[in-house]
Amino acid sequence: MDRQLIAQSFQDFRERLIATLEGLEAEVGSSARFSRKPWDRPGGGGGEMGLMHGQVFEKAGVNYSLVKGEFSEEFARSIPGAEEDRRFWASGVSVVIHPANPHVPAAHMNIRHLCTTKRWFGGGADLTPVYPDDSETSIFHEALKGACDAADPAYYPEFKAWCDRYFYLPHRDEPRGVGGIFFDQMATEDLVADHRFTLSVGEAFASVYEQLARAKMERPFSQAQRHDQLVKRGRYVEFNLLHDRGTLFGLKTGGNIEAILMSLPPMVSWP
């Protein structure tokens, strides 16, 4: 399966997700839209950042990228298939949503395809509520489990556990949020199926997050709840800058700083 077609499918998915998030803004009478900013990567490729400051979403970033080039010698050692030939090609969509309302959970989603002398998919989606809510958590997990089970019943338990391990703050001994799924270096014998599964994770996320955001986006909240939200966001920043391999990957491969750090919240407090 041609990697350009995969990149195209990612780009199309991104447009649908943007339309979904803008649609929620429209539902509350906001005319907020994503502003788009293309960028070129020195060394090859580039992407388009999409950033929205809305009424429902205080800050939402939906980025698409297709980058290519050569890994540094040091970095190549940790990447499958790059030991001898350091060239790489990578395309992905990366989404971080910081809602205005403290009752609406923050969310993160990413799908990606990497090619060195090997090829694989990766991705995941997870939820970071200020106030965890069992029903919300279970609706979110059910949606991801649905996408997983359609591909392979072994996926969900494995990818859920991976997510729990990954989105964890060791220095505070606490999870970042209520989990989701995470997978990397997926390369079965069926590239088409892997691609279909990866896209379906994106679609499942878009649909369930729309439902969850809509359920609470107009719920009243207090200043104390806003404060809780700003503090919780601090944990998000700590994770992304201290531990996140995605951030590190971006910084080490000459990614776009603005796009990489778009995940950071619009307003945060360490009181």
Annotated catalytic sites, by residue? 108
Nearer to a copy of itself, 139 or 169 (CB): 169
Q: Which is nearer to a copy of itself, 29 or 271 (CB)?
A: 271
Tell me which residue of 60, 67, 49, 48 sits closest to 23, measured CA to CA: 60
- Report how many residues bind a copy of itself under the rule CB under 8 A: 21
Span 55-84, contacts to a copy of itself by CB under 8 A: 59
Give the binding range for a copy of itself (CB under 8 A) out of 29-37, 122-130, 204-212, 256-264. Answer: 256-264
Residue from 44, 203, 241, 249 binding a copy of itself (CB under 8 A)? 241
Q: How far apart are CA 31 and CA 35, in angstroms?
A: 12
Residue 196: its H or E element: helix 191-216
Q: How far is the CB of 270 from a copy of itself (least distance, A)?
A: 4
Are residues 150 and 194 in contact, defined by beta-carbon separation less than 8 angstroms? no
What is the closest distance, in whole angstroms, from the C-beta atom of residue 259 to a copy of itself in the complex?
Answer: 12
For strands 174-175 and 57-70, give the pairing. unpaired
Is 146 an interacting residue with respect to a copy of itself (CB under 8 A)?
no
Under rule CB under 8 A, residue 237 binds a copy of itself: yes
Describe the strand order of the beta sheet including 35-40 as a list of residue ranges: 35-40, 45-52, 57-70, 87-99, 106-115, 119-128, 180-186
Q: What residues contact residue 5 under an 8 Å CB cut-off, 6+ apart?
A: none
**Where along the sequence are the contacts to a copy of itself (CB under 8 A)?**
53, 59, 171-172, 230, 234, 237-238, 241-242, 251, 257, 261, 264-271
